[in-house]
Chain A
Amino acid sequence: SAVISQKPSRDICQRGTSLTIQCQVDSQVTMMFWYRQQPGQSLTLIATANQGSEATYESGFVIDKFPISRPNLTFSTLTVSNLSPEDSSIYLCSVVALLLNTEAFFGQGTRLTVV
């Protein structure tokens, strides 16, 4: 299996500021994804983090608001910019290693509260 370390586990931020979330995997994985889980809701895909190139964003998510980096096969960051209370959510990193039976592994999530 793949073990994911996601940091921070939670944070409280002022509106207008930014938060950067880190995702570190203990093995080289093919794909890395970032999901958002709004309070009491399901997971929605923000983007696919591509190694060495721009992330692929889903409809409704833009690079200016959610810049993503993936400098290598084991690390990615998600920044949530210009925070507003509507950004208060859980953000989860997920990886898929195709050699590991297609299973998707998840980080423990980052609970963001914007005040």
Chain B
Amino acid sequence: AQTVTQSQPEMSVQEAETVTLSCTYDTSESNYYLFWYKQPPSRQMILVIRQEAYKQQNATENRFSVNFQKAAKSFSLKISDSQLGDTAMYFCAFMKSGSARQLTFGSGTQLTVLP
């Protein structure tokens, strides 16, 4: 079974600054996918960024980037130039490759961007 750990229940950052959210995971799988999802107060789960484990290059999506350390089983999210709209709960999630595609979520990090 997989586990995903987010050790930061809450974080805050000043608008326009950079913040990093931490995530570690445990698995015996060699092929898998990692995700960061954002959940604002509207409850809608929004995909922020995705990383395939077989890719060494870290994924980047505009202001969002990850630091994927496969050997250390670490998958942190960096948000640059933070905006007020980034305020949300952020979940790190793991998905096995193959036929079983359910997600295992971390406990979440509530990020607040301060004006």
- Which residue, A96, A102, A111, has most C-beta atoms of chain B within 10 A? A102
Assign chain B's interface to a size class.
Answer: 10 to 19
Check A92–B45 contact: CB distance below 8 A.
yes
Binds B, one of A19-27, A39-47, A73-81: A39-47
Which of the residues B35, B42, B103, B106 comes within 8 Å of A108, measured between beta carbons? B42
- Which residue, A33, A43, A44, A90, has most C-beta atoms of chain B within 10 A? A43
Could you mark each residue 77-115 of chain A with 1 if its beta carbon is under 8 Å from any beta carbon of chain B, else 0?
000000000000010101010100111101011010000
Chain A residues whose CB sits within 8 angstroms of the CB of B33 once the complex forms: 102
Check A43–B103 contact: CB distance below 8 A.
yes
- Which residue, B45, B91, B103, has most C-beta atoms of chain A within 10 A? B45
- B36 CB–A CB distance under 8 Å: no
Check A90–B43 contact: CB distance below 8 A.
yes
Chain A residues whose CB sits within 8 angstroms of the CB of B78 once the complex forms: none
Chain B residues whose CB sits within 8 angstroms of the CB of A41 once the complex forms: 107-108
Q: Could you list which residues of chain A lie within 8 angstroms of chain B, going by C-beta atoms?
A: 30-31, 33, 41-45, 48, 90, 92, 94, 96, 98, 101-104, 106, 108-109, 111
